[in-house]
A and B are shown apart, each in its own frame.
Chain A
Amino acid sequence: MSLPARAATLVVAFLAVVAAVIFVAFKFIGAQPSVENYTPYASGGQVNVTMMTAAQTTVTNKPDWVTYFIKNPSSGNFDHTTYFAVPADTRVNMTIYGYDGCTPLRNPLWGKVAGTVGDVENVSFFNGKTYTPSTPLSTFDSWANCSVQHTFAIPGIGLNVPIASVTTFEENSNLCGTSPCTAANQDANAPHTVIKFSFMTPKTAGTYRWQCFVPCGLGYVDGNGGPMGTPGYMMGQMEVQA
């Protein structure tokens, strides 16, 4: 093989390796969940965002990881993602359907609602048959009571919302088994809670991480690995758009 041919072969081989590395980095290591963009749906300084917690992720290859879902504002389906975008300086009216069971908070401090409008969340319990009236709550005792399943916290804006759980042994033993827990999966009528609260987004654009403060990934780095440390499960980002 001539010198130019060998040089060309070397260059091509080098570029192939670089391309493979870039592909792996972007495709697998740097893969990010899709973003549910609620900004076009904001109106009158407010936007409605809907999320769901589930005890498992049967739509992925990690079926026993707990997870959040976010409702696609266009299709109305719950997508397996934890990234959403909202406009700046806007009141977010959040609804979270809580389909997981209860667990004690590692730090009871996270049982206090903070950063919401009125420092409360409104909770309705569904026992499989009927809903209770939506009631404003500000503090949860997750040790004495079976009352909290996860939290939704955005530390950058001081937001902390305990996600209330169904409270009885029977309800916690009959949780939704296929996620997302929707009518299509015939699991929408499993015992769950409906949590509603509002908060204001910052006045300027930026990206804010949110996370659950319940160590719900036990077996993985003191409970905070696995779904707790993987985008698309128990933590994500709120993109505030100008």
Chain B
Amino acid sequence: MAADSPTAAGAPTSGGRDRFWLPVVWVVLSIVGCLLVALVWGPHMPPGAQSTSAASQQFDYRVLGTMATPVVIGVLLYLVWAMIFWRQRPGDETDAAPLHGNIKIQATWIIGTAAIVLFLAAFGTYYLIVPAGAGAGEGPQPIWKPAGTTTSSITSWTPGTSNILQIQVIGQQWAFTYRYPQFGGFETTQLMLPVGEPVQFNVTSLDVIHSFWAYTLGVKADANPGLNNVAYTTAYHTGQFQVRCDELCGIWHGSMYDTGDVLSVPAFMKWAQTTKTQLADVTKLLPPYADSYDPTTLTNLGTVNVKLGLVGAGGGFYNPADPEQP
């Protein structure tokens, strides 16, 4: 716009074109762009809408994307406009118009973008809080919980009640395992959820830091040894979803993934009861259900293990003087 300064000798004299058509083109393109982003691209934005947390994240992206569209179009349009209309003509050796500050434009830009950014900050924060943390790990004492749910029992669960379903996610090099304390505390390599029922994931680790990322459910929580990291979601639809580790955790980090399944409530109950029975012999060997586990010090080791000097499941086989010790 400053290029249209009437004081600039040899400057473009197309003030009408720039002052009228440039904003008009920008408004038209912005309206079209916003509609395309919000209504066409938006429903396909990651992570999808398979759960409450995923849907809330997708809604955030749609709003953010829609609001960013006029800004992006404005920048790109201004660039193209300059290249087409304000380029140097052949034989034109005059200097470009000297640039002077334009208080109106600067103020409009600063106030406008500040308003957008502040609105999006407030909007984003609100939509992180309202859907119970939006699927993110909230630490051991979550502030935002799903409305209408309680943790009245961690040893039993009935569909359709306020008592929330507990699933413990245990990261270890290099696999996730899942424990269901309300079904006798069995642990399995399969992750199954009931559709339409709020779920509380309790995420921990037996060794290094992992990260439980069920990305099409919009759930992501770091798995820290000795810590319980809580995240919530409610699945909207039955079907499979992918789980990956999202924290570089060693040589097989890239292979640390699972395919989970959202089942109908009757199918989930049947699976849980069947698995509970199938795994009964190993379930009784598991430590009592807890928020986290310390496998390096075990108090219930047998006499031979103790006699061999083993105190836990942390290894302990190398001579400290070995030059390969770190």
Contact = CB atoms under 8 A, between A and B. Distances in A.
Interface stretch (B90-98, B145-153, B318-326): B318-326
Interface stretch (B18-26, B36-44, B250-258, B260-268): B250-258
A66 interface: yes
A114 B189 CA distance: 11
Contacts, number: 141
**Central interface residue in A55, A66, A215, A229, by most chain B CB within 10 Å:** A215
Contacts of A187: none
Contacts of A108: 282, 285-287
Contacts of A26: none
Contacts of A106: 172, 206-207, 295, 313-314
B282 A111 contact: yes
Interface in A125-144: 138-139, 141-144
Interface in A70-126: 101-109, 111-112, 114
B305 interface: yes
Interface in B13-55: none
Interface string B217-259: 0000000000000000000000000000000001110010000
A163 to B, nearest CB: 15
A226 interface: yes
A235 B252 contact: yes
A47 B46 CA distance: 45
A112 to B, nearest CB: 4
Centre residue among B251, B255, B312 by max chain A CB count within 10 A: B251
Given A107-B172, A228-B173, A146 B308 contact: yes
Contacts of A223: 207, 314-315
Interface of B: 170, 172-175, 177, 187-189, 206-208, 250-252, 255, 279, 281-282, 285-287, 295, 298, 300-302, 304-305, 307-308, 310, 312-319, 322, 324-326
Interface of A: 55, 62, 64-66, 101-109, 111-112, 114, 138-139, 141-146, 155-156, 158, 167-169, 172-173, 209, 211, 213-226, 228-229, 235
27 contacts: A64-B317, A101-B308, A103-B313, A103-B315, A104-B298, A104-B301, A106-B206, A106-B314, A111-B282, A143-B285, A143-B301, A143-B305, A144-B285, A146-B308, A169-B308, A213-B172, A215-B207, A215-B314, A215-B315, A218-B315, A219-B315, A219-B322, A223-B207, A224-B208, A225-B250, A228-B173, A229-B251
